[in-house]
Amino acid sequence: MLWNPLRSRVFWVPYYRIVMTSPIQNRRLHSYDEAIIALNSLQSNVSTIRQSLAERQKNAQTNLPRTVAFLEKSGMTMDDMRQIKFVHVSGTKGKGSTCAFLESILRKHGLKTGFFSSPHLVTATERIRLNGVPISQEKFTPYFWSVFDRLCGPNEVERPPYFMFMTLLAFHVFWKENVDVAIMEVGIGGSYDCTNVIPTPLVCGITALGIDHTSMLGNTIEEIAWHKAGIMKPGALTFVDSNQPPAALHVIKTEAHRVGAQAWVVPQLDDYDWGSFPAKKLGLFGTIQERNASIALQMSRAFLQAAKGWEVPATVRDGDLEVAQPYPLSVEDALGLRLCFWPGRSQTLIFDDVVFMLDGAHTKESMQACKAWFEHESPNQMNRLDPSNAGRDRVFKVLLFNSTGDHSFEEMLFILSTLDFDMVVFCTNSASKKMADNINHMSTMTDRLERCRLHKAIWDLMNPHVPSLIIPFLDNALVWITQCHGDLRRLCCHSGNGLEECNGSKYSEVHLKGVQKLLGDGSPCPEKLTQASQVQVLATGSLHLIGGVLEIANPDISMMSEQEKEQQQAVEDEYVSLGGNRSAVSS
């Protein structure tokens, strides 16, 4: 059992201990679990974060030289970095989805892909993907210790923080694995993000911009655009979402001219020649994903042309902006878009009569897209249960919400308040028992609960007719919401009941009674919930919340079922038959 790191500076682990303020001592560790504990020791604690908040912008410029220093200390040089064919993507929203589309397309073109993203949902290995799959624990572990031992040895005074370490680790993995392309998603901002030590990206992308992370990036769209544009490098093509505030586009164009880069906006997805393929058929839902898909298409084509020495594609001028030209899609392009899978984004999980709809939206714009997706998906799930719609009145809809950081939760809740929920549950991102991969030292439980109280207070003002409830732990919240519906034995087992209690029909009743006891008499179960023919749960507001739900309900998020594999193969067969001679980029 792990001792609470917020009350003690020591992690107690069987047979050894790790002191949070010093590197691992007296024992060389080798296992994956030990690696994750060591990795978590690189998180900043609560008091350090609060002390440094006011200094963030002032100290941001030191981030890149620190990253380079740690890179060289870890055993890599900038010359080694130049051997890697990098693609770099920044943006406020959609950068992860754009990278996922891009990775899927290039993998369909036969390239060995590396993909670095953040945050992870269930396990830290998700941050470093090889050929679309999280790096295995067996590969992750030796790579981890080879870098950790160099940077965090017993005599090291300064150690890299968590995100910087994972960035450096990704560089090592992609270098040693000799990937054909390394796709890097920016963490926060761009100019001073530690991923920006990439010296010569072949292609860059900038997705939709908005107001976010204001404590680090500034309060205006111009300031934020400057940070995002900071990834552009001399001679590198940068593809930009055209649906930006004019002030943001002006900053991007100005910065491109200053550094000697080319910044082109992308065409609409309708403008591409889809041939016989189903037009705009994507693995991810929503209008914003159509723009992300267009960025990914342009980046993939430019990357393949740059890697093969082909000519740069043509553009047309639209006012002050160069517009990249659409082109005929190959089988690989269309399949890459169709089969793209990005967990936690517009994702549906079905457990008999309980349906989880998961979307990590955490900005105003992405929450609008989430709302549109829920309005589309909710009736689909009703029809799946009862095509006649006779049981529509017996569907119980729950909003499960949490928001972290400096995201504008008021705007997100206002958007969600227009949906027809029967109940709202606010909870933290923490479960009563949590995997080591998702332990968080960066906030206290008191802070998280206070955040929930703010969420509830705002909701009650906006929509007093829809009852709301705070349930501190996520697993308890899921048990209370589902109220013995669905095949959810995992929830009971996750929360500490013995396996013998998880078997048979009484498993959820046992856990539910425990949760009701914790909540007291002030949280009676709505009669409509217990009698519902289907329970729909929209979980949104934070990727960390989505990760918590997946950790409990579906921890093997990278594994496809046999049915899913068959469906994917059927799609591939269909597209190959439709494609005819449309194979590979050749024009």
DSSP label at 155?
Answer: T
DSSP label at 243?
Answer: -
Q: What is the largest CA-CA distance in the chain?
A: 71
Which amino acid is located at 550 in the chain? Answer: L
Q: At 205, is the secondary structure helix, strand, or coil? A: strand
213 marked as part of a ligand binding site: yes
Using alpha carbons, select from 107, 82, 282, 304 the residue that is nearest to residue 200. 82
Q: How many CA atoms lie within 13 A of 168 on its CB side?
A: 30
Q: Are 266 and 291 in contact (CB under 8 A)?
A: yes
Which amino acid is located at 257 in the chain? Answer: H
28 marked as part of a ligand binding site: no
Please give the sequence-ordered ranges of beta strands (E in DSSP) within 162-261, or none if there are none. 181-185, 203-206, 237-240
345 marked as part of a ligand binding site: yes
DSSP label at 159?
Answer: -
The secondary structure of 299-336, three-state, reads HHHHHHHHHHCCCCCCEEEECCEEEECCCECCHHHHHH
Beta bridge partners of 348: 357
Number of H helices, E strands in the chain: 23, 18
| Interatomic CA distance for residues 357 and 419, integer angstroms | 14
270 marked as part of a ligand binding site: no
Q: At 449, is the secondary structure helix, strand, or coil? A: helix
| Interatomic CA distance for residues 49 and 27, integer angstroms | 29
585: tokens are 């980029």
Q: Are 361 and 370 in contact (CB under 8 A)?
A: yes
453 marked as part of a ligand binding site: no
DSSP string, 276-294: TSPTT--SS-SHHHHHHHH
Element (H, E) at 176: helix 162-176
In degrees rounded to 5, what are phi and psi of residue 139? Answer: -85, -40
Residue given tokens 């996922």 in the structure block: 100
| Interatomic CA distance for residues 115 and 106, integer angstroms | 11
Q: Are 340 and 284 in contact (CB under 8 A)?
A: yes
Q: What is the distance of C-alpha 393 from the center of its chain?
A: 34
DSSP string, 523-556: SPPPHHHHT-SEEEEEEES-HHHHHHHHHHH-S-
Using alpha carbons, select from 96, 126, 115 the residue that is nearest to residue 437. 126
In degrees rounded to 5, what are phi and psi of residue 583? Answer: -135, 130
217 contact partners, CB below 8 Å, separation of at least 6:
188, 189, 223, 224, 227
| Interatomic CA distance for residues 337 and 223, integer angstroms | 32
Cis peptide before 119 (omega within 30 of 0): yes
Which residues sit in the known binding site for ATP?
345, 359
Per the annotation, where are the binding residues for Mg(2+)? 118, 185, 213
- Per the annotation, binding residues are 118, 185, 213, 345, 359
